[in-house]
Amino acid sequence: MTKKIFRLYPPPFEYMELEGLYLKLHLHRLGTPESPFVYANFLTSLDGRIALEDSNGQTYLPKSLTTPDDFRLFLELECQADCLITHGGYLRSVEQKRLGNILQIGVTDNTRDLALWRREQGLSAQPAIVVASASLDFPMSPSIKEHGQACYIATGERADPVKLAYWREQGYEVILAGKGGMVEGDVLTRKLGELGYRSIYLIAGPHMLDTMVREGRLGRLFQTITHQLMGGEAFRTLLPGPELGPFGHLKLLSLYYDPASPLGAGQWFAQFESNFA
């Protein structure tokens, strides 16, 4: 039997299996090509940290923010996507072995059930990948080709034409999704819909979350809140942009409580719906 956690909301209060909790949501059925469903997942401390910065200015994800249970739920969310949005910074970190590869689903012994679930749901074996990048300076992960995944590069219209030509020569479709150097959430979502994608999981960082929320494109935010006050003078939080106003007002859809981890503290698994997407 797998681990059980408490459902605090919606009522009734219940003791539930963690595995399968998010698969039941069927997020892949919520979007259409006309209006793709975009969702994101973040881990935070009680004082709102998603990452800390070391003395060299390098950001990192503190180990105390992550647990195997949270990772299982992350994979269940990934499993429901027909398209993942990552970014150039992530591919640089994978190449430098600072982060692990999370671009494929169900390829390890303990996650084969997720590959089967996708098949049963009529989803492609692996989701398409979008790499958002303003610099266009990143190494492409060989794992994407190895798994036959469609792969797009998203950037702004002011991107360096030499680098654009380089990626096109390598056979990648480039999506120009923004008037400046940066990708804009609204344009990117619309263009991915035109390509036929319906469920889009944002596995990028705070800047992509910011543009999706600000432009009313984020459908759901999943947030794991670990019960720790983290501190740390230099840190990252969910949204780097200016004050957001009503676009940032969310409605709680579900709240689960794991009293035992990480490290004897607890964590909440929260799911919020946006009023605007």
Ligand X SMILES: NC(=O)c1ccc[n+]([C@@H]2O[C@H](COP(=O)([O-])OP(=O)(O)OC[C@H]3O[C@@H](n4cnc5c(N)ncnc54)[C@H](OP(=O)(O)O)[C@@H]3O)[C@@H](O)[C@H]2O)c1
- The binding site for ligand X (CB under 6 A) comprises 42-43, 50-51, 59-61, 65, 87-89, 132-135, 137-138, 182-183, 204-208, 211, 236
Smaller CB separation from ligand X, 57 or 245 = 57
Residue identified by tokens 């935070």 is 44
Q: Are 22 and 76 in contact (CB under 8 A)?
A: yes
Nearest distance, CB of residue 7 and ligand X, angstroms: 22
- DSSP class per residue in 174-208: EEE--SSSS--HHHHHHHHHHTT--EEEE-S-HHH
**Which residue is closest to ligand X by CB?**
205
In the bound state with ligand X, the residue whose beta carbon lies nearer, of 25 and 177, is 177
CB of 29 to ligand X, least distance (A): 25
Q: Which is nearer to ligand X, 28 or 207 (CB)?
A: 207
Q: Which is nearer to ligand X, 35 or 59 (CB)?
A: 59
Beta carbons within 10 angstroms of residue 112's beta carbon: 11
Q: How far is the CB of 69 from ligand X (least distance, A)?
A: 14
**Residue given tokens 């009293």 in the structure block:** 259
Longest CA–CA span in the chain (Å) reads: 58
Q: How far is the CB of 1 from ligand X (least distance, A)?
A: 28
Q: How far apart are CA 19 and CA 23, in angstroms?
A: 8
